[in-house]
Amino acid sequence: MPSIDCVSRVDMNEIDNAINNTKKAIANRFDFRGAKAEFEIDKKEKKIKILAQDDYKARAMQEMFWTAASKRGLSFKAFTFGEPEPGAAGMTKAEWKIREGLEQELAKKVVKMVKDTGKKVQASIQGDEVRLTGKSIDEIREVMAILQGSDFEVPLQFVNPKS
C-alpha cells in the first residue's frame, strides 16, 4: 500500500542564507551606517535573536529578513516573530522562534481533515508527522492537494513516498 509522510520542516541552510542576505542588505542601507544590528541563530533551540540600536531598526531588520526569506522560498508560517523589547545599554532585542514539526493538536486537525475528505486514505499520527496511507497513489495525491490548499499555522511538506 502506498504511503507518504506529511511533515513541517524548515531547511536551516536556507535560513542561514536569508540571514546572510539580510546582513548584506543592512550593510548597504544608509540608516544602518554606524548602527549596531546583529543576528544570532541558535540551531539547536531553533531560535533567531536580533539585537538592534532601537525599535525602528529592529522592525526594519524583521522586514528585511521577511524579504530575504521569501526570496529563499521560506514560508512566514515557519516563524513566530516576537515583539522587540528593551535590552541592555539602550539596545532593542527580539527573539524569533523557528517552528518545526506538527504539534499534537495540528496533527489531529490534519487527521480529521483527511477523514472528512471521504477518500479511502488513512492518516495516523507518528510523533511530529502524519502518515497518509491508501490503496491508490491517486487518492493520496488528491488528499495532499486538499491539505496543501488548506490554511494551517505551519507550512506542510510531503516526504518519504513509498509505493
pLDDT, tens only, 113-158: 999 988 899 999 998 999 999 999 999 999 999 999 988 888 999 9
What pLDDT score does 104 carry? Answer: 92
Q: Is it true that 3-9+101-162 and 12-98 share their CATH fold?
A: yes
Alpha carbon 150 to chain centroid distance? 16
CATH top class, domain 12-98:
alpha beta
Domains in the chain: boundaries:
3-9+101-162, 12-98
pLDDT tens figures, 78-114? 999 888 888 888 889 999 999 988 889 999 999 999 9
Q: What is the pTM of this model?
A: 0.81
CATH of 3-9+101-162, one of 3.40.50.720, 2.60.120.620, 3.20.20.210, 3.30.70.860: 3.30.70.860
Nearest one of 135, 136, 158 to 146, comparing CA atoms: 158
Give the model's pLDDT for residue 16.
Answer: 94
Q: Which three cell numbers stand for residue 59?
A: 522592525
Q: Is the pLDDT of residue 163 over 80?
A: no
